[in-house]
């Protein structure tokens, strides 16, 4: 029986699209960075010509701060036959403070499609998807372009919302799971093991959490709080320059990847910086300023 299970696992793993550094660096990161600010089309034109912004959603995601918004957008490339579903990360210290306080002080809540997730993430996703209309636009695009592929991505908080978006889309069969490709950057733990297992079971064409060296955010919320990552971690133990090596850890919480740094973590400079780009600053500037 054990041998049979190992054979089945090998077959499943062989059918998963391999991690592609160039795809992560040149497509998914520009998509994630463009979510910051109000210049999505400018960023797309610069890095991903052919992609056209379809819808940009932004809404208050917490009632405790008037400037605490969450955001996401959709875009389409008709030549490449790709729909992009992108979620923005945290903007500002106030929003980060609310996220941390809520996660530490409130229990996980049931996600509508399975598992338990952080309350702030759950509220943010529902408001962006339902109240701000991102879900409606996504459904329109799936009807207009039923044979396209789907890219899902986000940085930081955007990675957590992307995880929930992927589970929601695949669970409800809003898009064929075999045509979904998922790359995130600096994604925090989103929910419990049930949620992590659900995502792993649903997304078959490769789902990768890219982590930059000592980035602290992927190690939050804590394992002791019964949060757990989904697979698959891609860890760059370097500056992420072109040609730099990386380690792929297939397990959900593999000690051979970024967990090696669990007692040597930082927010600056590693969390905002991926592939040499200050992701929030670059997106806010319309992809002109990387200081």
Looking up tokens 């997730």 gives 117
Please report which confidence band the pLDDT of residue 7 belongs to, taking 50, 70 and 90 as the band edges: very low
Residue-averaged pLDDT of the chain? 90
pTM, entire model: 0.92
Domain boundaries, the chain: 19-284
pLDDT digits (tens, 9 = 90+) for 54-94: 999 999 887 765 578 899 999 999 999 999 999 998 886 56
Contact 131, 60 (CB under 8 A): no
Looking up tokens 């994630």 gives 32
SS (H, E, C) 152-170: EEEECHHHHHHHHHHHHHH
Q: Which residues pair with 38 in a beta bridge?
A: none
CA distance linking residue 152 with residue 87, whole number of Å? 8
- Looking at residue 6, its pLDDT comes to 36
Superfamily per CATH, domain 19-284: Alpha/Beta hydrolase fold, catalytic domain (3.40.50.1820)
State whether residue 153 is helix, strand or coil: strand
Residue 85 φ/ψ, nearest 5 degrees: -120, 115
Model confidence at 15: pLDDT above 80: no
């Amino acid at each position: 029986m054990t041998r049979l299970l190992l054979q089945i696992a090998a077959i499943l793993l062989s059918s998963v699209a391999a991690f592609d550094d160039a795809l992560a660096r040149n497509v998914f990161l520009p998509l994630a960075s463009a979510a910051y600010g109000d210049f999505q089309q400018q960023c797309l034109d610069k890095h991903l010509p052919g992609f056209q912004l379809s819808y940009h959603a932004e809404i208050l995601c917490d009632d405790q701060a008037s400037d605490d918004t969450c955001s996401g957008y959709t875009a389409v490339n008709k030549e490449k036959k790709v729909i992009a579903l992108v979620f923005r990360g945290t903007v500002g210290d106030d929003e980060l403070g609310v996220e941390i306080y809520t996660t530490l002080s409130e229990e996980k809540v049931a996600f509508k499609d399975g598992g338990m997730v952080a309350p702030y993430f759950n509220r943010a996703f529902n408001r962006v998807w339902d109240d701000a209309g991102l879900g409606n636009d996504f459904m329109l695009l799936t009807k207009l372009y039923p044979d396209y592929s789907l890219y899902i991505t986000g940085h930081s908080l955007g990675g957590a919302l992307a995880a929930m978006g992927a589970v929601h889309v695949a669970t409800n069969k809003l898009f064929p799971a075999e045509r979904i490709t998922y790359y995130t950057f600096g994604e925090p733990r989103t929910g419990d093991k049930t949620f992590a297992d659900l995502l792993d079971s649903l997304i078959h064409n490769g789902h990768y959490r890219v982590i930059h060296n000592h980035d602290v955010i992927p190690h939050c919320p804590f394992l002791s709080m019964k949060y757990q990552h989904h697979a698959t971690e891609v860890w760059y133990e370097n500056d992420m320059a072109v040609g730099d090596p990386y380690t792929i850890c297939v397990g959900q919480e593999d000690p051979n990847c970024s967990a090696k740094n669990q007692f040597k973590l930082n927010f600056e400079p590693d969390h905002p910086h991926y592939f040499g780009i200050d992701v929030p600053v670059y997106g806010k500037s319309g992809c002109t300023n990387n200081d």
